[in-house]
Homo-oligomer: A and B are copies of this chain.
Amino acid sequence: MALVVAKFGGSSVADADKIKRVAERIVETRRAGNEVCVVVSAMGDTTDELLELAEQVSPLPPARELDMLLTSGERISMALLAMAISNLGAEARSFTGSQAGVITDSTHGKARIIDVTPGRIRTALDEGAIAIVAGFQGVSQDTKDITTLGRGGSDTTAVALAAALHADVCEIYTDVDGVFSADPRIVPSARKIDTISYEEMMELAASGAKVLMLRCVEYARNYSVPVHVRSSFSTKPGTWVTDIPEAELVEQAIIRGVAHDSSEAKVTVVGCPDKPGVAAAVFRAVADADVNLDMIVQVGSVAGTGRTDISFTLPKTDGRTALAALEKVRGEIGFEKTLYDDHIGKVSLVGAGMKSHPGVSARFFGALADAGVNVEIISTSEIRISVVVRDTDLSGAVKAVHDAFELGDEGNQAIVYAGTGR
């Protein structure tokens, strides 16, 4: 008997029929002799509808109340799912994030899980019931207020519960078959990856692969929770995210896949005084505005001017905030002006084999050059190379790199991988 934590997203429970289908799948798993804890998101468009209601009453609603509002979405889906399961003759009990013991900090809208005390879930499982838990929500340790975990929060809830319950697997059900070597909408020959290490999955998630959120994979790695990303529409195995021994990694895979990201913009701070402390002052101004930078490049001093340009990328959604923060310190720092460019895209190649196999960079940049793609910024980690290109070059760049490393090749299954770009 295994303990399975299974997470179903909003599209899997979008209406009564889909909820009944999910219920059947859960009851099958239970009747096969497993203990089952299900984490569920709000139905389909519920969250958007609630946000629209909020907008109608207030242009800038307090974050605490927005969390109170949005968490009603999972309350609806989990109760309906529990009813559908009961209707099939199995016992199900639904629990809010608070009842399930999901304890967070007090950052409304993007709270972090700081503890999970799943006593009531454990009791329900011990009594033979299927436990249904609201994803995406928790309760603040300090204020006892209801919090939400932010985007992809239900996946994190599932992994955190799996860790706290010492589950054998955390199954993430989704509308794709698993993690792919590239977004199949861009690269039709992209292949499903069978197994991937936590570190590689983290790099892909951080590079734009949307199938799993970074925080969820980090949590899984920290507690060694095996994650199985699979389709809610089929029983085929999907992608396992798990510990892969270093030796095996070196032997097996050079490259997992290619991720891309078109959600970032580039800010250039033009004409900064070329002296110590200026770059620090620029980044401090942006960080104080709570904006996370991604890639950074500083162009060497233009001869004779004593001035230099600093560029960085950031989420487009933070663009306005960052520019406003910089404008405030322009006189103090003494730069000339800022430029904002939101027509960029990022392409990333990820693979644990990269660090032990020389020549990956040469092949990567060669492929881009052959495809006529101009590279604007470069950043790397031990197992990743990322470049910023024009947004119009993005699809071409992804295809060129995917081809160059033969990731879609039938005979090369062990070295495939990467994220869907949803």
Contacts and interface: CB of A to CB of B under 8 A. Distances in A.
B79 A69 contact: yes
Contact of A75 (B57, B58, B72): B72
A130 to B, nearest CB: 12
Interface string A206-247: 000000000000000000000000000000000000000000
B84 A76 contact: no
Most B CB within 10 A of own CB, among A78, A80, A81, A92: A80
B59 A87 contact: yes
Nearest to A132: B65
A86 B65 contact: yes
Contact of A79 (B68, B81, B92): B68
Given A72-B72, A72-B75, A72-B76, A65 B53 contact: no
Nearest to A86: B62
Contacts of A53: 16, 76, 80
A19 B82 contact: no
A57 B99 contact: no
Nearest to A16: B56
A82 B62 contact: yes
A91 to B, nearest CB: 9
B65 A69 contact: no
A20 interface: yes
A66 B76 CA distance: 10
A61 interface: yes
A125 interface: no
B56 A68 contact: no
Contacts of A146: 96
A93 B144 CA distance: 13
A76 B363 CA distance: 55
B20 A57 contact: yes
A94 B64 CA distance: 9
Q: How large is the interface on A (under 10, 10 to 19, 20 to 34, 35 or more residues)?
A: 35 or more
A92 B50 CA distance: 19
Interface in A1-43: 16, 19-20, 23
Given A16-B53, A16-B56, A57-B16, A62 B83 contact: yes
Contact of A86 (B50, B56, B58, B144): B58
Given A20-B57, A62-B83, A83-B62, A50 B68 contact: no
| Most interface-central of A23, A82, A83, A120 (chain B CB within 10 A) | A83
A348 interface: no
Nearest to A64: B93
A54 interface: yes
A98 to B, nearest CB: 8
A100 to B, nearest CB: 12
A420 interface: no
Among A71, A75, A79, chain B packs the most CB atoms within 10 A around the CB of A79
Contacts of A66: 79, 83
Contact of A87 (B58, B68, B69, B93): B58
Contacts of A61: 83, 86-87
Interface string A335-357: 00000000000000000000000
Interface of A: 16, 19-20, 23, 50, 53-54, 56-62, 64-66, 68-69, 71-73, 75-76, 78-84, 86-87, 92-94, 96, 99, 120, 144, 146
14 contacts: A57-B84, A58-B84, A59-B87, A60-B87, A61-B86, A62-B83, A65-B79, A65-B80, A65-B94, A68-B79, A69-B75, A69-B79, A72-B76, A72-B79
Given A58-B83, A68-B75, 15 more contacts: A19-B57, A53-B80, A54-B79, A57-B83, A57-B84, A58-B84, A62-B86, A65-B83, A72-B72, A72-B76, A72-B79, A75-B75, A96-B146, A99-B144, A120-B144
